[in-house]
Amino acid sequence: MKVTVYGPGCARCQKTAEVVQQTLEARGIPVELEKVTDYAAMAVAGVMSTPGVALDGKLVSTGKLPTVAEVESWLG
């Protein structure tokens, strides 16, 4: 699964990438992580507050550090 983390590289963004990656991998889902730090790309993706997370190109969360339970809820 392709995971995109939008954020300027702050501590919260790093943490977000870790939580998402670990949660997905714990479920046996291979992760292809992409970090977007460019503001123009963030704006185009509709991310207004960082960190933002998109799964396979679909934006699922912005402006917060997601919990493991939240990451699991995105998978449905």
Selected binder of other proteins within 50, 55, 66, 71 (CB under 8 A): 50
- Applying CB under 8 A, does 44 fall inside the site for other proteins? yes
Q: HEC profile for the chain?
A: CEEEEECCCCHHHHHHHHHHHHHHHHCCCCCEEEEECCHHHHHHHCCCCCCEEEECCEEEEECCCCCHHHHHHHHC
Our finding on whether 61 is near other proteins (CB under 8 A) is yes
Smallest separation, CB 4 to other proteins (Å): 11
The residue ranges that bind other proteins (CB under 8 A) are 6-8, 10, 39-40, 42-50, 52, 54, 58-63, 76
